Amino acid sequence: MTEQPAGSAAPAGRLPRPLRPFRHREYRLLVTSMAASLFASGLWLVAIVYQVISMGGGPSELSVVAAASSVGMLVSVLIGGVAADRLPKRAVMIGVEVVRIASAGGAGALAVTGALQLWHLAAIAFVMGAAEAFFYPAYSAILPTLLPPEELLAANGVEGTLRPIAQQALGPALAGVLVGAFVPGMSILVAAGIYTLALGALLAMRVAPVATNTAAPSSVLADLAEGFRYLFRTAWLFASLAFASFYVLVLIGPIEVLLPFAVRDQTGGGASSFALVLAAFGIGGALGSIIVSSWRLPRRYLTAMILLWGAGAAPLMLIGITPHLWVMAAASFAVGFTGAMAMVIWGTLLQRRVPPHLLGRVSSLDFFVSLALMPVSMALAGPVGEWLGVPMTFVLAGAIPVFLAVAAIVGWRLPADEIAHPLDSPAVTA
């Protein structure tokens, strides 16, 4: 079954391009829900760190909770894609928020009463991770049902801007205040309350007419197989995900694991210096999302996207060779800026070229690639950094994606594909 656009939009007038999707009532409610959900998630992630510490736990105990969340996402994400294609997408998102409210509320109640144990927190983190795996495919698939094709780039830019601001800045900032003033359990309860606001916005959305699916019902495995078949027979999609797989493998580990050591050893900085470099990455991501959403989708959209990722990683080489903190911050800003621009184009490209009945599953495959290789990259970063040295590891992390980008563009003839499938016309798939 598929959802159809509902409601009417106010005239565009002279609205800037990034604001045009906000003419649509259902989109405004969706963004309100997403902003509240991201804000609550940022609060939750910091609150559980201090909850583990308050229970006498250390890095090992915290890693158990973090791993449980990652495993929950990894084992559920492909099923989440099937659910997004089979079920009403708004209903899937409502279910996700209900699970988040119950999980965070339960954890908070156990914490403030002193009954919370580590295994409780690990189990709840697993459930929260599994719920997150259902959210992203449903959100990605519902956008084309709410907006015209020419406004999808702007909408993806809004999401790319909200995520670092709400989840990586405002949520953790509130968590720091609440943990300092109260016990961590109170912060978890506040996160549950904010998830409730996200649920309220979803419930306020008008239910769009749903077309009845007259095809014979298929199994979940058959639906998954259909998604994989589409991936392997669609050259531009396979090339993009293959490139993204190696990109995640090469970049995530050095940034997540080795960056604090580069800051310490090369600049003499401590925690505040490391936080500055991370903040520069987040600010770059937010600005990159805003700027790309202000433009039209590039005519050479595949080439532009792959080069923004590949060549955009090159500044990481500076992190490996500079003794100056400001250079590291500038390089981090540049990587965040170009990476966010590519992500906005990528999300729009999926929504414009993937058939609607497959969009949830393809989005989940995209999510699965990132989830599967992130822990591998982080596991390899430490040994590689010790073997080659942290500076050389960053030089390679910045250089390798450039060559991977050229290989993807040339090897899969992406320029010919984007010429054959221009996205100037609203209705383009395959």
Asked whether the beta carbons of 306 and 409 are under 8 A apart, the reply is yes
Phi, psi of 36 (to 5 degrees): -65, -40
Joined tokens for residue 161: 């801007």
- Whether 10 maps to a domain, the answer reads no
Say yes or no: 198 and 240 in one domain.
no
Are the beta carbons of 311 and 402 closer than 8 angstroms? yes
Residue 257: band (very low, low, confident or very high) from pLDDT cuts 50, 70, 90: confident
Same domain, 166 and 270: no
Cα distance between residue 237 and residue 231, in whole Å? 6
97 and 228 in a single domain? The answer is no
Q: pLDDT at position 1, please?
A: 41
In a domain, 154, yes or no: yes
Q: Give per-residue pLDDT as tens, 111-134.
A: 999 999 999 999 999 999 999 999
Neighbours of 332 (CB within 10 A): 25
Do residues 247 and 390 share a domain?
yes
339 and 194 inside one domain: no
Mean pLDDT over residues 82-102, rounded?
Answer: 95
What are residue 24's DSSP bridge partners? 9
Query: Does some domain include residue 6?
Result: no
Please check whether residues 253 and 198 belong to one and the same domain: no
Q: List the structure tokens of 397.
A: 């992390």
Structure tokens of 59? 């890095």
Residues 157 and 28 in one domain: yes
Q: End of a domain among 208, 236, 256?
A: 208
Residue 315 lies in a domain: yes
Q: Would you say 112 and 186 are in contact if contact means Cβ atoms under 8 Å apart?
A: yes
Both 246 and 339 in one domain: the answer is yes
Question: Residue 200: which residues within 8 A CB-CB, separation 6 or more?
Answer: 33
Instruction: Tell me, yes or no, whether 359 lies in a domain.
Output: yes
Domain boundary among 173, 208, 243: 208
Are residues 37 and 89 located together in one domain of the fold? yes
Are 69 and 163 in the same domain?
A: yes
Chain mean position to CA 101: 21
Is residue 394 in some structural domain? yes
Lowest mean pLDDT among 171-180, 293-302, 340-349: 171-180
Domain match, 230 and 295 both:
yes
Q: How many domains does the chain have?
A: 2
Do 186 and 288 sit in the same domain of this protein?
no
What tokens were used for 272?
A: 């505040």
- Count CB atoms within 10 A of the CB of residue 255: 22
Residue 416 tokens read as 């010919």
Length of the chain equals 430
The answer to whether residue 427 scores a pLDDT higher than 60 is no
Instruction: Map residue 2 onto helix, strand or coil.
Output: strand
425 domain-assigned = no
pTM: 0.80
Picking from 208, 233, 266, the residue at the C-terminal end of a domain is 208
Helix, strand, coil % (nearest 5) of the chain? 80, 0, 15
What domain range includes position 196?
A: 15-208
1: closest CA among 96, 98, 81, 83?
83
344-397, pLDDT tens digit by residue? 999 999 999 999 989 999 988 888 877 778 778 877 888 888 899 999 999 999
Which candidate, 220, 242, 222, places its Cα nearest to that of 231?
Answer: 242
Q: If residue 404 lies in a helix (H) or strand (E), which one and from where to where?
A: helix 390-411
CATH number at residue 88: 1.20.1250.20
For tokens 């959210």, the residue is 135
For residue range 49-80, what is the model confidence (pLDDT) as tens digits?
A: 888 888 988 767 877 887 788 888 888 989 99
Show the tokens assigned to 148.
């015209």
Residue 152 lies in a domain: yes
